[in-house]
Structure 1
Amino acid sequence: MAGMVNNQDMLALKSYITASDANQYSGLHKDTIMIDVTHSNLVQRHIELRFDLHETVEALKHKIHRKTGTPPDYQKLYIKSGGVVIGEIGSDESKMLGFYSIQSGMEVHCVDLNPHSASANGGYEDVSKVQKYKMSDEDYDKKKGTLRDWAKHQKAADPKFSLQKHAKEHQALVEANRIYKTTGQAPPGFSFVNGKLTADKKEEENTPPPGADSVEGITVGLRCEVQPGERRGVVMYVGEIEEIAGGGHWVGVKFDEPVGLTGGTVKGKQIFDAGGDRMGGFIRGKNVKVGDFPERDIFDELDDSDEDEL
């Protein structure tokens, strides 16, 4: 049957994977070798580069230059086998590789002699040393065609619009389309408008924004757990925030982990210091529970998960 894997296939795969190293290069021409190239300043290892035994040391050095960035004049080359240095490639660049009896599976290790080499101390590989571009909120606000710009226009057309609400509605629509494709029926709350599956419009309720009673018992300094996601943190602010449309009372939380949507600011105004981007959030009181919610220990969580997962 097509697609079936028989024992013959598995045996062939096992034979390929466990093939003897002695036969690994048996298909190469007698003058061709495959060697690894390593570098004193780099973690990266160049695996099984192909060379001809008639190539010169000069050609080898130029290839290493292209791979590592170290010019030929600053290269000191050693031959290794099994991780042990067994020889040194001399300064005569006219000699051929065959002169040094290099064989497939060996390694040529390049020591960079340049004291000012750009590759030193992780210069080529340590991405933490790369200066990253960071745009200020002011500059981002001025840009057109961004998510924030789009949300601003949506907000102008619908004062109750929010990205969270939009994401929730979009997720519901995707799920509704999936159900329709599976069952051929529009799920409850959805119908076809001009041939397109659309969420039914709900009559807007004239309910007032959450008042002081919605945050009763929640005070600054208390530990808390926020839904959704059981995110933990500490209460940093309780009250109204005029910069947030919709009014009502909010709870400002500084999270233990970067699981929030803000750093404690709203439209450029600092309400509280969350200690970093995505470390804070403003949540309605109904989604905040105060009490004994200490910061989680990742090792405790791993122990718990072992008991609950087979």
Structure 2
Amino acid sequence: MSNIVNIFVVSPDTRSERRLDLHTTIGNLKGKLELITGVPVSSQSLALYSTESDTTPIAELADDAKPLGFYGAQNMQMIKARRRVTDLNPSVSFTGQLTDTSQVDKFELTEEEYAARADTVLAYKQRNKVGRFADQAQELSPSAVTDTSHITLGARCEVESNDAELSKRGVVRFVGQTQFGDKSGVWVGVEYDEPLGKNDGSVQGVRYFECRPKYGVFVRPNKVKVGDYPVEDLLEDEEM
């Protein structure tokens, strides 16, 4: 039996799925979760729930010396407290502040001011001829966009991202024609490892594959690289 389980971790500012070792003590787990939730170890109060909709926890993870497996944690369960990882000492934590914009001074530009700047995304695209600024001769041929010979269902993959620091990895769940209105042609449906998507495998009432909300996405074949792309996990270290 595997000692690794997939658990959803929820905090006021984050929600993600993590691979956790059942031998990890609650104290060590809190240390790992501080990097993700922003809640100091001394302020964390954790509980284990069967599903997100449950109001009664399976167990309060109160003993820092006990391993996660002691509490009977299983795949697809959720760690939260009173519905979320609760910060018991907000004065020494940033928890919740990341989503509170009420005290943030807003910096605004007119369209003309934005277009005149040289340090914007728009200026970058213009300089490097990206997107709508690309030379017509540089545009991909239809065959390059629709070639799916290298893409198989169930394959691990990475989807091209505009952010060089962000890896969008997942599993190929669909390859073929769709009914996206005027967006005809071949599309690849991907189930992301993290909630970086736009749907649950269905678009405009038509279902192409099954996955959790915000984990599904459809992209053109030329945006998909198939290969050995393991699941990335911030909690993985020498102890796990």
Q: TM-score, normalised by structure 1?
A: 0.32
Larger Rg: 1
Which has the larger helix fraction? 1
Q: TM-score, normalised by structure 2?
A: 0.40
Greater RCO (Cα-Cα under 8 Å, separation 6 or more): 2
